[in-house]
């Protein structure tokens, strides 16, 4: 499956199934359709079907970018506490 490089909203799809396990941990593929769950998230993989989307966020503004930023911020706070002896 192709890796989605950005967050977006599905505008055209044909039997689209996405592997969101990298974000949710859920191993089942998620069916995406215009009328039900049209959000596509960066870092996920297309497993079946095809589609087109309008990009809504890239880089640090995407869901994956936000997660990585939060994880990085948490690590920096831990380092600061260790340096202070706290």
Condensed to tens digits (0 to 9), the pLDDT of residues 11-60 reads: 999 999 999 998 888 899 999 999 999 999 999 999 999 999 999 999 99
| 59 SS3 class | helix
Asked if residues 48 and 28 have their Cβ atoms less than 8 Å apart, the reply is no
Confidence of residue 9 (pLDDT cuts 50, 70, 90): very high
For residues 5 and 38, give the distance between their C-alpha atoms in angstroms, rounded to a whole number.
16
Report the C-alpha gap between 18 and 2 in whole angstroms.
10
Q: Where are the domains of the chain?
A: 3-71
32's CB contacts (< 8 A; 6+ apart) are 10, 13, 16, 17, 18, 38, 39, 40, 51
Does domain 3-71 match CATH 3.40.50.300? no
Q: pTM above the 0.85 mark?
A: no
pLDDT at 83: 65
Is the pLDDT at 72 greater than 80? The verdict is yes
Residue 77 has pLDDT above 90, yes or no: no
**Calpha distance 12→69 (Å, rounded):** 31
């Amino acid at each position: 499956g192709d890796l989605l490089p950005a967050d977006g909203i599905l505008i055209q799809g044909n039997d689209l199934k996405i592997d969101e396990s990298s974000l949710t941990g859920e191993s089942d593929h998620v069916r995406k359709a215009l009328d039900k769950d049209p959000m596509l998230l960066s870092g996920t993989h297309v497993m079946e079907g095809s589609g087109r989307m309008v990009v809504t966020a890239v880089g640090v503004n995407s869901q994956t970018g936000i997660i990585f930023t939060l994880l990085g911020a948490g690590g920096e706070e831990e380092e600061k506490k260790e340096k202070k002896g706290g």
